[in-house]
Structure 1
């Protein structure tokens, strides 16, 4: 089937945490025979920081971040069997959401694919007249990359016909163990862009842990941290491209995941970093959130911390042997249960069943 997918960026992970999710899911869908075109705006300097070439599994269309260019690419929605509007494009999100509904063929499957469901739901609750909330029921299907039962219930209460999580996962071809690199050596590494709804939790789980552990070394990667006051034992390295993610995950003794406020509150929302770290056989310490055991077993495949004090204590007790054991167990778990090959089977089934059901309903 022909899929028109309107998202933030397939070609660049710069200020675009959903990139590896898009790539993993769409590569699998492309391998199952779908003809995919991905439409992304030239915005936020992403095109100047591409980290992959246009892939074989999807046609890439980059359009100017202008109203006229947005309108032109929306006109192409009429050619597709499945039309997808992803959340968080960053420019013209309302116009894109309404545009895919207005331009898609009547018999096409219309999908809202939310890559940050907790944040989207907060926005919709605060604005009853939000364009997406007003027209949510016109989408045949809402897919999310996390959130579990709380997100499914919330979306359906707001009028979604059906909501199904398709979780983040591992692509073993891109995220895997590599040799240690001295430039990323540390006791604890943390990789994330600086965002307002994550910063307080970063201060607690990472910076406070560093302040409590002056004898340990900490590594901070990601955009936006320039100018942030950091303890002396925290070394910032700025943007870390996807080509260096494996080395970043494999070189410290352990790596940290810190969920954003909304994701932590909802639970069942493992970030892409969780699977990337596990795929590299890294020893992962994550902040506590409901549903973690659905993906990794606490104490055996991941370490779970309630606050910065927990992080500091876990790091103090962590030996290279235990870190290796946890990382290897995490790799085995995600390889067996949580790869994009697993998610691709699920997404393909969901989409094909939804298309079939819509066509049968139209003929009834």
Structure 2
């Protein structure tokens, strides 16, 4: 597979703080990579280094087999010569320019006046369903319209690489889903290489051909959405990809015992060598019971007390406390939702999860 992006040893510091720490990354031509992680993990700085908006302190960056940054050689190609399109979180539209002029701006900077004459601006506006807005100003547009215009501006020069910095975070839920689908359709239609930064796991799963989970300036796991979701490589990745429930374990008397009150056999958590472990499980994989069932072979069970039960339409979000461990359970309203909502905070119940739904890691951190 041809390389759209090849990054080696990328390092970026702000003062004494290392924000990107020797990062290696490769993105295939035409692939859509999502950089996913919490605030401060280095994902936006990495994107800005790819764009040329930040100057790294070391490493190399190749875009479509052309070296655009090399720390040892002192080589740093300016942003306007990198064949990229950029879509910002804040839209970043020029308020004094019409939509037409905003979209045309990358072509004007590149000296592509023939492309303007050939209708590239109109084509880009039509791609994002905004062809009738070309003579308006940004202040006359809704947030969703402004984001579509920002997309059109990022795509109008038909770049080989499109960089998107949390482009959906300023939209309401309905618009976010709609524009997300439009981004996916545009990528399928045009085939550009894309890197998107987000902290939203649903957005990452929906858009990415691959997802890179970042932590402290490094990549913790980079794989397909399916592999990241089903086989998170670490406790950190599991937590970020939606396995919000955490159960700690200690090896006791030939088995595993949890401070939450559960006990399982020596091999039930997999092939572990240490004395401590931590399991992750998704809210959807937990079940609630009025009391612990007598027959729960192949599952882990805990006695607990109800903390809250929040109605969510097709589901009830239930928070319980098993000793000092808090767990979140998502229950379908047609399942146990009715009797759960009749309980009062503090009343006893039980929760269980199939052992197969647990992802367990060595250590307690």
Superposition TM-score, scaled by structure 2 size: 0.28
Greater radius of gyration (CA) = 2
Q: Which one has the bigger strand percentage?
A: 2
Q: Which one has the bigger helix percentage?
A: 1
